[in-house]
Amino acid sequence: METVDCVVVGAGVVGLAVARALALAGREVIVLEAAEGIGTETSSRSSEVIHAGIYYPKGSLMARTCVEGRRKLYAYCAEHGVPHRNCGKLIVATNGQESEMLQSIKGRAEANGVEGMQLLSGNAATQLEPNLHCTAALLSPATGIVDSHSYMLALQGDAEERGAMLAFHSPVQKGRATEDGIEIEVGGAEPMTVRAKTLVNSAGLHAPKLAQKIAGHAGRQDPHRLLRQGQLLHPRRPLAFLAPDLSRAGAGRARRAHHRRSGRPGQVRPRRRMDRPW
């Protein structure tokens, strides 16, 4: 049986960030990933937006971590050469009622510590983006985009530089809590049993199922899998202000597949990829 200080299950962006933090703290770390490489599931389907922290309730953990994380992410990307762009974002209103809502959005963002929020007239907004048709807009200069896979590669490099090890094709089959840690059975071509003092479940959509496989931990509150479907809207004409930024962030690598249902039940067809012209 292998014994290790920390095991992180899942090599997505969160798992890699956790592994990096543990390794930087001097902990011995092994990352177990069921797939063939890093970031192959949820992390490869991110919108790649660096959110400013606009919409969250004031004082909430989400608001605080989003604002602080965004500042640190820009610094990290610049330091590690991760492709990113502080392109800003326009929140647009198409009628008078929506225009009034922009002021409250601005107030919430500023209460969260978001810098530089600006209310714009419709004319000022169309000077930034001629293809817009709006009555007013709210400019968020702090919003940006990032090449998510390059970011994950940087996290992986930092973790490995400090001694962390990654094992691919290594699915966790089940586990058992003991008095001095957790024993987990790992499948794959070379099955093994690993005993860890600390186990971090960062398996993304598979995290609830993995938690249910760990027997014997006291006071367990296994998370429930709660899925939500998002919708993307396509403009009738190209948005020159946005599309080039998105294409540059995603050029040269596979992007997430967007799907929508066609008119016939049970049939799915892909959306147009965002790293191609509209």
Q: In this structure, what DSSP letter does residue 275 have? A: T
Q: What is the pLDDT of residue 218?
A: 66
Q: 6-41, pLDDT tens digit by residue?
A: 999 999 999 999 999 999 999 999 999 999 999 999
Cβ(194)–Cβ(2) under 8 Å? yes
Q: What is the pLDDT of residue 234?
A: 64
Distance of CA 261 to the CA centre of its chain: 25
CA distance 273 to 85: 20
Across the chain, mean pLDDT equals 84
Q: What is the pLDDT of residue 273?
A: 35
Q: Is pLDDT above 90 for 114?
A: yes
Q: Is pLDDT above 90 for 258?
A: no
What would the two tokens of residue 133 be? 């048709």
Higher pLDDT, 261 or 74: 74
C-beta atoms surrounding 77 within 10 Å: 21
Q: 72-99, pLDDT tens digit by residue?
A: 999 999 999 999 999 999 999 999 899 9
CA distance 225 to 208: 6
Q: 201-248, pLDDT tens digit by residue?
A: 999 999 999 998 998 876 677 777 777 777 766 666 554 444 333 333
Cβ(225)–Cβ(236) under 8 Å? no
CA distance 189 to 169: 8
C-beta atoms surrounding 41 within 10 Å: 16
Cβ(146)–Cβ(83) under 8 Å? yes
Q: Is pLDDT above 90 for 254?
A: no
Which range has the worst mean pLDDT, 20-24, 49-53, 69-73, 257-261? Answer: 257-261
CA distance 23 to 197: 14
pTM tops 0.75, yes or no:
yes
Q: Is pLDDT above 60 for 58?
A: yes
